[in-house]
Amino acid sequence: MRRILIVGAGQAGLQLALGLQSNGYDVTVMTNRTADEVRDGRVMSTQCMFDTALQHERDLGINFWEDETPRVEGLGVSVAGPDSSRVIDWVGVLDGYAQSVDQRLKMAGWLETFAQRGGQVVVHGVAVSDLDYLARTYDLVLVAAGKGELVSMFGRDASRSPYEAPQRALAVSYVHGLGPRPEHDFKAVRCNLVPGVGELFVIPSLTTSGPCDILFWEGIPGGPLDVFDQVKDPSEHLRLTLELMKTFTPWEYDRARNGVELTDAGATLAGRYAPVVRNPIGELPSGGLVLGVADVVVANDPITGQGSNNAARCAAVYLAAILAHGDKPFDRDFLQAAFDRYWADAQHVTKWTNAMLGPPPEHVLNLIGAAGQLPPVAHRFANGFNNPADFEHWFYDPELAGAYLASVTPQS
């Protein structure tokens, strides 16, 4: 039986571990926190996942929370004017629903399932020196430890990493009590763009205390939203979040007027990181090779909500590659080919996400504006979150964008 070590118990590490385990591999997961510590800890993400990524979980039968999690059937975009009025507002319907399951719930549950099914779990914060030793006793070592210090083993790929510094300051609050959305009777993720300032995302989710909403500010560094780093008190974090909503997105604040409260003591998160693509193969001091997974190798800003989707894609691609490889050695060629297959998808996410971080060019402003009058444009933009490769055909290039708009504009 082939022995595989996975470092990290997040979306990618655990999806891959459960998939390999159900195919008869001898899998060990090393992680720095127990399931209870994860469940009782701080929120880590907003983790909205779209249909294709959710399907990878369904394929493995690990979609344990699907029935109780709110179904996100649309994706809306609003743009604030200089006077904080809502100058653009539309919603595109998703062909397949999206869902967000609090990673504290999902990762704790998956880790326990993996152990109950006979998987080995070692709770230990892994250092490079540990890997040097461990790599000799496994057929394959996968590093799925997110954006932590183990990324130092994987060199930055400057040709694929246009930004050297964080492009947004992130501030998340999970709340109960947000009023229903007045515009439509289905649930939607709302992207509220405040030009020159940042974005507010409102995301229906399932947390440890049931359904909730997530308020997620992405602030341009140094701007008026970049005020959360020093805030240690969760209630002050929520107060600031609401105050900024009142100032910049009053239509979203209206939903909070009847009083919202944090879902629990760990319901807030603030931070920032630079988007980066890394070389996928890490070389250990004694010559062993390890393969980077998901955020370790491709970490995008969450402005497009793609990291967990990418993690699910990466786990699915690596699982298929490992199964197809049979008993052959996991050599450098295998590791590189597995990553290349993943990058074939992930490159589209990186291109789109990095584009959304910059000021939008005129043709993108036209597209976002036109989506209010042209439902096919709203539909296509919304469903691009599930398939970012589609943006290649109509979004980046002014000519392609113009031709597309002309093709969906009714002739008078």
Ligand X SMILES: Cc1cc2nc3c(=O)[nH]c(=O)nc-3n(C[C@H](O)[C@H](O)[C@H](O)COP(=O)(O)OP(=O)(O)OC[C@H]3O[C@@H](n4cnc5c(N)ncnc54)[C@H](O)[C@@H]3O)c2cc1C
Write out the residues near ligand X by the rule CB under 6 A.
7-13, 30-33, 45-49, 125-126, 144-146, 148, 150, 170, 172, 269, 294-295, 302, 305-309, 311
Tokens of 10: 């997040």
- Distance separating alpha carbons of residues 219 and 35, to the nearest angstrom: 32
Residue 300 has phi, psi (to 5 degrees) of -100, 160
Residues 367 and 395 sit within 8 Å (Cβ to Cβ)? yes
List, in order, residues 6 or more apart from 266 with CB less than 8 Å away.
Answer: 40, 41, 42, 43, 104
Please tell me whether residue 25 adopts helix, strand or coil conformation.
coil
List, in order, residues 6 or more apart from 83 with CB less than 8 Å away.
Answer: none
From the CB of 402, what's the least distance to ligand X, in Å? 31
Q: Which residues of 184-234 form beta strands (DSSP E)?
A: 188-194, 198-207, 210-219
- Distance separating alpha carbons of residues 297 and 309, to the nearest angstrom: 14
Residue 308 or 374: the one with the smaller Cβ distance to ligand X is: 308
From the CB of 159, what's the least distance to ligand X, in Å? 21
Shortest CA distance to 306 belongs to which of 7, 65, 49?
A: 49
Residue 266 or 307: the one with the smaller Cβ distance to ligand X is: 307
Residue 314 has phi, psi (to 5 degrees) of -60, -45
Residues 283 and 292 sit within 8 Å (Cβ to Cβ)? no
- The alpha carbon of 308 is separated from its chain's Cα centroid by a whole number of angstroms, namely 4
Residue 197 or 302: the one with the smaller Cβ distance to ligand X is: 302
From the CB of 90, what's the least distance to ligand X, in Å? 20
Residue 3 or 400: the one with the smaller Cβ distance to ligand X is: 3
Residues 256 and 242 sit within 8 Å (Cβ to Cβ)? yes
Residue 76 or 305: the one with the smaller Cβ distance to ligand X is: 305
Residue 273 or 396: the one with the smaller Cβ distance to ligand X is: 273
Residue 126 or 141: the one with the smaller Cβ distance to ligand X is: 126
Shortest CA distance to 43 belongs to which of 106, 132, 130, 125?
A: 106
Residue 48 or 356: the one with the smaller Cβ distance to ligand X is: 48
Residue 13 or 70: the one with the smaller Cβ distance to ligand X is: 13
From the CB of 357, what's the least distance to ligand X, in Å? 14
Distances (CA, A) of 159 to 32, 109, 133, 277: 32, 38, 32, 9
From the CB of 202, what's the least distance to ligand X, in Å? 11
From the CB of 110, what's the least distance to ligand X, in Å? 10
- Distance separating alpha carbons of residues 100 and 68, to the nearest angstrom: 11
Residues 381 and 92 sit within 8 Å (Cβ to Cβ)? yes
